[in-house]
Chain A
Amino acid sequence: MKTFTLTPENKEKFEKLSKRYPKIDSMMLPTLWLVQEQEGWISPEAMIAVSELLSTTPIRVYEVVTFYTMYNTKPIGTHHIEVCKTTSCMLCGSKEIISYLEETLDIKPGETSKDGQFTLSVVECLGSCGGAPMLAFNGDYVENLTIEKVKNLLEESSDDN
């Protein structure tokens, strides 16, 4: 079985941050973020490594990883597109945006395009209701979407350019 270790840089961040909490248990979410930033997702090996860092059991790490939607339990594409579908965005036309992305990338929500470039997720409210409809592109918010805007975004970020 492969093993996982934090890079020296991330290990240093971990040590520094863990001094800021009264108990190491609080480092669960921050450590998982470090893992995801390093690997792009959180593998079973990484969960074991995190449990050792936090002096807990792998199952405790697993139950946290699977509770929070932002932790990826499988590898994702180069670019992660998360389209908001909740009320304000729906009222302002998120359905058209989602359909356009499904057709253009030829994938369903939760899937990654065949070339491995784009992963499409449909998510609940991202707190950007004033800029509806919106999506997060690799975590950056893109608001007041139109089909044209999404088309340009895909073209600009595509590897083919």
Chain B
Amino acid sequence: MITKIVSKKFDIPESYKLEVAQKNGAYGSLKRLFTMTPDEVITEVDKSKLRGKGGGGALCGPKWRYMPTNDPRPAYLIVNADESEPGTFKDREVMDKDPHLLIEGIICSSYAMNIHTAYIYIRGEYKWLADRLNTAIDEAYEAGIIGETLMNGACDFKLDIVVHRGAGAYICGEKSALIESLEGKRGHPRLKPHQKECEWYFGNPATVNNVETIASVPHIIENGYEGYTQYGTEKSPGTMLFALSGPVKNPGVYELAYGLKMIDVINTLGGGMKEGKKLKAVIPGGVSCPILTREEAEKAVLDYESMWDIGSTLGTGGMVIIDEDACMVEVAKNIIEFYHHESCGQCTPCREGTGWIDKILHDVVTQQGKLSDIQTISDVCDTLNGKTICVFAPAVADIIGSIVVKFKDEFEAYILGGQAISSKEL
């Protein structure tokens, strides 16, 4: 069931050390890389249909083409390691167990876009991972892999990598907020241009990619795009690091080709539910995706198109499993507390809307709820959707709106009964 591309060195002891990593094939893609022109590299990635693994799922090749060519300004690669989506803990595995794969990916990507400085923006809480990355980068500098030239002069290309620590703000995972933060400001997302274009760091062209996306590039360069498209489905080729969390027997990160059935993954790799409990719902890709009921989860297939067809998204691939004992009102309250806390406060519908829903659900869980509250929550979700600068507010509307609609009976019973009632008791 497992397909190891990004995770191929995860099981090797001490694979974070350069010596061990190199014995197991690290930096092996660079030999072929240096025989290619930057344009050929982008074409290869384009043909592999590699997608952004941070949640959006946008194609990586076209994104790299937005970078201006023959531009006098310096260009920057910014690796998004601000993994903060609840239910997502995959990038940390890459940085923890195979930091040299990330460095190798940065080399390939920088070479493709003629970039000489890369920043890894890592969330502040991952202090030990920032240390691990810094150690790996120092090793790479000392070994002459990066620096003034690549691979001890094998390629005359200067490359510097800098680790930049965030300080605890979920919104900094949004790429334009991330750049604002990197520029030393509050992490407020920027207005998006009408046409597709690259990002801008101090007015210089920049591209922002997720850790896993960058870590997938060396495999494509080394084996060609066919080496990647042989896995997965036709429209969603390749693999992704899926994560399971919540009350399953074996939570963890598993690299899987796209196109597997969600329920098989939960029952086989996840080992099924703890204590023989029944599955009640799944939030498929971090809490920002519409929730799936058990019936929907049983039909769900893990690729982008299938998930869109059933009205949800694949997101980051971090599945939060919910068992029959959980009260969906309390789950909704927990999630809205998160969003209320993390809203950056820039747009009124989001700042006020998340607080409003939080307040309503607070009333509900303290036995002061009214049946009309359910409609009010749906109305606030309508106000959140599509009226803000970034996708934070639509994500809130997606998850909270879907819980309220799909588990309306639980909300009604909770309000009328004034206490936690799981669907088992209805």
- A residues engaging B (CB < 8 A)? 20-23, 25-30, 32-33, 54, 63-64, 67-71, 85-88, 90-92, 123-132, 136, 139-141
- Contact partner, A87, options B166, B170, B287, B341, Cβ 8 Å: B287
Are A92 and B247 touching (Cβ within 8 A)? yes
Using A33-B165, A85-B334, A91-B322 as known contacts, say yes or no to A129 and B245 having CB atoms under 8 A apart.
yes
Q: How far is the CA of A26 from the CA of B252 in the complex (A)?
A: 35
Q: How far is the CA of A7 from the CA of B326 in the complex (A)?
A: 51
Are B251 and A68 touching (Cβ within 8 A)? no
Are A87 and B251 touching (Cβ within 8 A)? no
Using A71-B167, A130-B252 as known contacts, say yes or no to A29 and B184 having CB atoms under 8 A apart.
yes
Q: Which B334-376 residues have a C-beta within 8 angstroms of A?
A: 334-335, 337-338, 341-342, 344
The minimal Cβ–Cβ distance linking A99 to chain B, given in whole angstroms, is 15
Are B184 and A132 touching (Cβ within 8 A)? no
Q: Which residues of A contact B124 (CB under 8 A)?
A: 33, 68, 70
Q: How far is the CA of A129 from the CA of B201 in the complex (A)?
A: 32
Are A20 and B89 touching (Cβ within 8 A)? no
Q: How far is the CA of A15 from the CA of B160 in the complex (A)?
A: 17
B202 within 8 Å of A (CB atoms):
yes
Using A69-B167, A132-B251 as known contacts, say yes or no to A92 and B246 having CB atoms under 8 A apart.
yes
The minimal Cβ–Cβ distance linking A95 to chain B, given in whole angstroms, is 10
Write 14 A-B pairs (CB below 8 A) sorted by A numbering.
Answer: A22-B201, A29-B167, A33-B165, A64-B185, A67-B344, A69-B167, A87-B331, A87-B334, A88-B87, A88-B246, A124-B338, A125-B338, A132-B246, A132-B251
Q: How far is the CA of A81 from the CA of B84 in the complex (A)?
A: 19
Q: Which residues of A contact B164 (CB under 8 A)?
A: 26, 29-30
Q: How far is the CA of A47 from the CA of B66 in the complex (A)?
A: 39
Pick the interface stretch among B9-17, B125-133, B379-387, B390-398.
Answer: B125-133
B101 within 8 Å of A (CB atoms):
no
Q: Which residues of B contact A140 (CB under 8 A)?
A: 128
Are B84 and A125 touching (Cβ within 8 A)? yes
Q: How far is the CA of A158 from the CA of B73 in the complex (A)?
A: 54
Cβ-closest chain A residue relative to B127: A139
Q: Which residues of B contact A64 (CB under 8 A)?
A: 184-186
Are A70 and B184 touching (Cβ within 8 A)? no
- B residues engaging A (CB < 8 A)? 74, 83-89, 92, 117, 123-128, 160, 162, 164-170, 181-187, 201-202, 204, 243-247, 251-253, 283, 287, 318, 320-323, 326, 330-331, 334-335, 337-338, 341-342, 344
Q: How far is the CA of A53 from the CA of B297 in the complex (A)?
A: 54
A29-B166, A86-B334, A125-B87 given. 16 additional CB < 8 A pairs?
Answer: A26-B184, A26-B202, A64-B184, A67-B169, A68-B168, A87-B335, A91-B322, A91-B326, A124-B86, A125-B338, A126-B125, A127-B89, A128-B89, A129-B89, A129-B251, A136-B125
The minimal Cβ–Cβ distance linking B333 to chain A, given in whole angstroms, is 9
Q: Which residues of B contact A127 (CB under 8 A)?
A: 83-84, 88-89, 92, 123, 125-126
Are A26 and B168 touching (Cβ within 8 A)? no
- Contact partner, A139, options B128, B204, B251, Cβ 8 Å: B128
Q: Which residues of B contact A22 (CB under 8 A)?
A: 74, 201-202, 204
Work out how many contacts link A and B, with CB atoms closer than 8 A. 143
Using A91-B320, A127-B92, A128-B89 as known contacts, say yes or no to A32 and B167 having CB atoms under 8 A apart.
yes
The minimal Cβ–Cβ distance linking B104 to chain A, given in whole angstroms, is 21
Q: How far is the CA of A130 from the CA of B242 in the complex (A)?
A: 11
* Interface hub of A69, A124, A129 (most chain B Cβ within 10 A): A129
Are A132 and B245 touching (Cβ within 8 A)? yes
Q: Which residues of A contact B204 (CB under 8 A)?
A: 22
Q: Which residues of A contact B162 (CB under 8 A)?
A: 20-21
Q: How far is the CA of A33 from the CA of B164 in the complex (A)?
A: 11
Using A28-B185, A64-B185, A87-B87 as known contacts, say yes or no to A23 and B322 having CB atoms under 8 A apart.
no
Are A23 and B87 touching (Cβ within 8 A)? no
- Contact partner, B251, options A29, A30, A124, A130, Cβ 8 Å: A130
Are A25 and B338 touching (Cβ within 8 A)? no
Cβ-closest chain B residue relative to A71: B167
* Interface hub of B204, B247, B283 (most chain A Cβ within 10 A): B247
Are B335 and A26 touching (Cβ within 8 A)? no
Are A87 and B128 touching (Cβ within 8 A)? no
Q: Which residues of B contact A20 (CB under 8 A)?
A: 117, 160, 162
Are B87 and A129 touching (Cβ within 8 A)? yes
